[in-house]
Amino acid sequence: MLKFKNITTYEKKPCLNNLNLNVSNGRFVLLNYRSKLEKNKMIDLICQLDTPKSGKITIGGKNLAKFNCRSKIIHKRIGICFEDFKLIQTKDVLANITLPLEIHTKLSPEKLIAAGEEHLKNFGLLEKKNNSLTTLNLEEKQRLNIARSVVLDPELIILDNPQMHLKTEKIESLMKYLQDLNNKGKTIVIFTNNKKIENMINCDKYILEKGAISNV
């Protein structure tokens, strides 16, 4: 599903150094990182916000370099939960979650709203659907962030520290939700430096350190 092959990038000096990772379809992977720069670089490469100096990244066997960053094929196959949310401040809660559906599907306005409300309900945010983002606390914004990452029913879900701002019981609930998605065939990759969640999920564990990836 997701493959990094001999990836090298530079930030004045090598950041990722001949990095290799092969995430098979339907796997649940946890990447424990030591360097935020290295973690961010991997996510930027997946999002096509940067390109490697050498090497190749493939998703579903397709070379990512051959797709435009706005490609609907890529956006529908990958859902990303960003550490800094990247929510749209000028839109209300419901509009933030329906926007990907509006852009990448042909759902009617009624079905857009129904789908958005269903996801908000799953994450305990339905009663806040008409609220502006300024009324949400950090935990609520994180839940909205995660809900948006799965709204297109992507095959591959990338989550950057999804546990941030969540209380322990919410983290446990989230991990169960992600485990259920994985059991249904979704491929999931979590980037985190929080070791507590390692014991909450059944997954493949790796360490991102010194520009390379190794098994735990």
| Per-residue DSSP letter, 160 | E
pLDDT tens string 150-200: 999 999 999 999 999 999 999 999 999 999 999 999 999 999 999 889 889
CATH of domain 2-215: 3.40.50.300
Cβ–Cβ under 8 Å, residues 36 and 210: no
Q: What is the pTM of this model?
A: 0.93
For the chain, what are the domain ranges?
Answer: 2-215
Distance of CA 165 to the CA centre of its chain: 16
| 3 state SS of 17 | coil
CA distances from 35 to 66, 68, 127, 165, 193 (A): 29, 28, 38, 20, 9
Contact 174, 162 (CB under 8 A): yes
pLDDT for 13-46, tens place per residue? 789 999 999 999 999 999 999 999 999 999 999 9
